[in-house]
Amino acid sequence: MTVSIKNIITACTFTLVSGFVSADKQLIHAGQLLAIPGEAPRLEQSVLIEDDKILWIKNGFVEVNDAKLIDLKNSFVMPGLMDMHVHLQFELGPDNDKEALKMSDELMAMRSTHYALKTLQAGFTTVRDLGSNPQYMYALRDSIERGWVDGPRIIAAGGVGITGGHTDVSGMRHDLMEYYTTKQICDGPYDCRRAARQAIKYGGDLIKIASTGGVLTDRATGTGQQMTNDELIEVVSAAKSMGKKVAAHAHQEDGIVAALEAGVASIEHGSYAGPKAVKLFKKTGAYLVPTLLAGETVKRLAMESNFMSPEIKAKAIRVGGDMQSNFAKASKAGVKVAFGTDSGVSQHGINAQEAVLMHQAGMSEMDILVSATVNAADLIDRSKTLGTIESGKHADIIAMDNSPLENIEELLDVDFVMKGGTIYKY
């Protein structure tokens, strides 16, 4: 039998118009469902997903004839986790100096796809990358968004730092430092305004600054305030005028206070937040992103290995040893917390260990889950689409055997991962 091109086109048109090609539907039967962290979980719930969105949630194990059934009747189901501080392009270790010289940017970009997939399979469906080779990170962000590679949804920062500060290059001979210094390094308020605008121009979703020195800066320049108040104000103002937020790396109280007074959206680490900083956190509504896992990691590596310089070792042991107890004080005082690990300093894929450390510091299991879902979504202005399992939101859903509300270590072994309606682990 001969079939004409005209008949094929007519048949295809009829199929599309008549609705024979239906949208993909998936039905989750959840034994326990924590749809909205902060509220009590519900038993025996059904969640219907069409394409990448949640259609509805209903009581009981209902049937939907045209939907593929995902049986999670024996599981605890909740929204996908979010990590507000990662570095997907590297992992701290003894080979970092060699890699900086021998690994091409292109190969580094390929490795970052590996780290991104490990992060997603650990149950983290959205991350904020706060410091990477920017164009390669923007490319990873965009290719994940297009579905070309698998990974978490990425909110990627453009960095702005001062000469000799934490985000400037260190630990190299002078000619290499000159070569690797980027145009995002600035001095003085107006130059920092320029750097912020440039970072946004080239693709930054937000701006990452360092108001204080850092542990991994290979200079004995301390962890107190380094970026001046007028520089901080200009960066925040420039970002705000373009609809972007600013995240500030800050360890000591003076730099935390200066960044909060300038109007940043989050403080990363906040290792020595004191009473004045706590008051400003509450006044401004800024989030603390604690990164306890990073502190624990650098302290352990400083004590057990020999690849760190004496300057870094001293800071790592001191700051890393103080972070958990100081976080406990800030959390108890009512500072808003958004979950963040600084993964890249720690290994990728073990992000949930941050939750264990937060719990050891006295934070409740529910508050930890809120920090990694509802609060994180608020910080990145995605509350309308992420952070909870509700009608109309992206189908970012994870599951584990037992409830992390009873044992937070359940987050270390996530069995089911869905992002945007696509299953990545089951």
pLDDT of residue 220: 85
The four Cα atoms 187, 188, 192, 193 give a dihedral, to 10 degrees, of -160
Q: Is 185 strand, coil or helix? A: strand
Burial 308-331 (b: 16+ CB within 10 A, else e): beebbbebbbebbeebbebbbebb
Residue 12 pLDDT more than 80?
no
CA distance 323 to 331: 12
Residue 384 pLDDT more than 50?
yes
Residue 2 pLDDT more than 90?
no
Q: Which pTM does this prediction carry?
A: 0.92
CA distance 113 to 110: 5
pLDDT in tens, 224-242: 999 999 999 999 999 999 9
Confidence of residue 11 (pLDDT cuts 50, 70, 90): very low
Confidence of residue 3 (pLDDT cuts 50, 70, 90): very low
pLDDT in tens, 17-61: 333 333 589 999 999 999 999 999 999 999 999 999 999 999 999
53-59 β-sheet, strand order = 53-59, 42-50, 25-33, 68-79, 397-400, 416-419, 422-425
pLDDT in tens, 215-224: 988 888 889 9
Residue 295 pLDDT more than 60?
yes
Residue 196 has which token pair?
A: 């912020």
Looking at this protein, which amino acid is placed at residue 249?
A: H
